[in-house]
Amino acid sequence: MDAVLTQAVGKDGYLGAVALVADHGAVVYRGAFGHADLQGKQPLREDAIFRIYSMTKPVISVAALMLVEEGRLQLDAPVATYLPAFAGLQRVTGGSVEAPTRVPVQRPLTVRHLLTHTAGFATGGDDIRVASALLQAQAPEEATDLAGYADRVARAPLATEPGTRFRYDGVNTEVLARVIEVASGQSFDTFLRTRIFTPLALHDTGFEVPAAQRARIMALTTRDAAGQRVLADTPSAREPGARLRPYTSGAGGLYSTAADYLRFARMLAEGGTLDGVRLLREDTVAMMMSDQLAGFDPPVPAPEPGEGFGLGGYVVIDPAISTRPGSRGQFGWSGAASTYFTIDRERGLVILLLSQHLPSDEAPALPKLATPFYRAVYSAVTP
């Protein structure tokens, strides 16, 4: 494992990486490699703080499922039950941006659709160019809060019928975050802090980093046109610790550390409980980590070979053809800036690997990171 990460960092690779591996709850591997700064003066420490981007999404899924268990949210309830602006949705069937052809949707958009990224939102792709342009015209990313974001999205037509196509995108999760606010009666960040972060003792996880802790944030890098590693041109790269979005983004707004996220992942691996604190029932965790796309009619194409999608992350359904080492039912996700985690409950493994480079797995400019490390872990722990 050391060899994989040593090879991946350095002058021609990643700036640095932190990894933790837990086997049946016990940390059996830990390592910090490379540097935290672009100048190479600060060795990367295990307690470094990372922008985890889309690894925020499984956290939001847990928040939603907690409300489901409490009866304050229903998976198959229409989103319009909580956000009336989503009543009477239409989808685009043709025409042009100036004169689109629209028809009413035949089935309601549900909370489950948001969790499984099958809502039908128009997010990229030449096949939905008209619908995508209409959504972009609403500029939801310019909203200053989740209520404004959701309202802007609701004004645009869908691209496809809800529940008929898997299209991974943050719009689903941002709208879900607003649903959580309405269902809980709390602001999104307050709910996460009081119901997840504090109970699990995730002391360094949040939408902003306190000024006193910002020196711990790893630099966020990318490659310029000449192939040189440079500081990324993003607000959080220029001002580490500031919010990653103007609003509290459920799709990709959190900062965290390896230790914090390992605790979150261990909670899931241990059936919804950690150190005497229970967030979810065992059966809810099992549902979260089961393929949710198999039940759609008509069938929804798989995101990747051998994989389905649970409630907030990939699920390995056929290890023989999946590109990831591990067991059937393995669950995990990644973040845009080269952060990765996976949970293999059958083997009792939780693997966490964090770096800070945009985009993730930028081959061939950078070495592959997650898959070689996962393979090294499985080789090391195989009886």
Decide if 2-59+189-381 and 66-184 have a common fold: yes
Sequence ranges of the domains in the chain: 2-59+189-381, 66-184
CATH domain 2-59+189-381 topology:
Beta-lactamase (3.40.710)
CATH domain 66-184 topology:
Beta-lactamase (3.40.710)
Tell me the one-letter amino acid at 222. T
pLDDT digits (tens, 9 = 90+) for 122-148: 876 656 899 999 999 999 999 999 999
Quote the strand ranges of 190-296, DSSP E: 221-223, 229-231, 255-257, 273-274, 277-278
Which helix or strand (DSSP H or E) is residue 49 part of?
A: strand 49-51
* pLDDT at residue number 303: 75
Both tokens of 109, joined, read: 């958009």
Helices (H), the chain: 2-8, 56-69, 111-116, 129-137, 146-154, 170-184, 188-192, 235-238, 258-269, 282-288, 370-381
φ/ψ bin of 371: left (φ > 0), alpha (ψ from -120 to 50), beta (otherwise): alpha
* pLDDT at residue number 298: 66
Give every residue of the chain whose pLDDT is below 70, as ranges. Answer: 124-127, 297-299, 363, 382-383
Residue 54 has what DSSP assignment? G
